[in-house]
Structure 1
């Protein structure tokens, strides 16, 4: 995050932190796997977790970077921090305090199950299997949802409906955020709970915190404030589940 902050300062754009979010977890998972490889009883699971996080983080990095190329600052960060041209030093200090320190702490806290798995034996391997299956559901929702939205945006404006309500978006207004939550609950199962009831209990707040960010803090709720101003979106919101996939109302 310190390196990302310096990068953001050089380009006057805090949104680069979103590009680094996924790879940051990949780095944590890699370090955890290296640490865990010294213990024969734990060596296989940290590397499995590293592969899972690398697939998730690599896809997220590719998707956000492609979306960010050629665009300016994210409006959320501009509203939070103001224009760097007004007072560059004050802007950077606020960015470090409100964005980079917060996201660095969040990354450490959310990745606690990965760190615990590196130094813990696998007590319940069936839970690892369940966790991998839930992770897979999450990756499918996240990647397919993003791909469907990208395809919708690439269609000529006059040929597409005013609101994306097809595919997974017919059942939830935020399939990508729902998928992200499933990924981290799956990783908690495979890394935290599979290590035993005590490690699972001590790390359950990690996926809960990620879900909170996705739903309330920086994710779905925040996005909905601007989306509700678009033509057709209030009606879409009335018939479509907010987060968990459900059949549309009236279908």
Structure 2
């Protein structure tokens, strides 16, 4: 097909208050993927693997958030939307679930607390529980680390645990999960939330209501703090879009998802 411009900017100020820039062109067979910054690295890895056997495919991936994904796909501006939250209304597009991501409540490895109830976690993060000795731990003030507002990780945690109760004002806000993990490693009084993929021997995950976060407990839903990783597509999607979606069921795609610790349901 004839290409009109090398770079086409879609001005979406009325809908989104921002610009989306897709490197491609109207009328080309490029697949434009936009949305959740949590899913973005996974999608970039998937696209890289896909291109090994589909070298002529043009697929662009960029962030913008889950709400942006919904709006862009709904408006027909993006071919695929990356959404890291459960949709609460019906849209005229199809959901493809890449898998589930567990969200871990993590503390310093030296902390003797290994299990917390949902109510206790809520109490820590809303400021009603301020010292570890209130939970059977040492006499140390609890230092709470969280992501900034708008973070998909924080949104999922607030939905499943906080029940609309605000996070305490004294919580230390950091702009990446890597920063939260590093802070927990260095602070023996700390607690924070990170994605399951960040869990290693340098931080300690606590069980929630007696269930430890693992691939099995996330897959079967018994570990409650988790969120879906969804791809949203229009029913009238292009052939190239559908080819990519179909490829996601391949063994190569599964390897990429496993490497990113994205868990398929049982």
Higher strand share: 2
Give the TM-score range, shorter chain. under 0.3
The higher relative CO (CA closer than 8 Å, separation ≥ 6) is in 2
* Larger relative helix fraction: 1
TM-score normalised per structure 2: 0.23
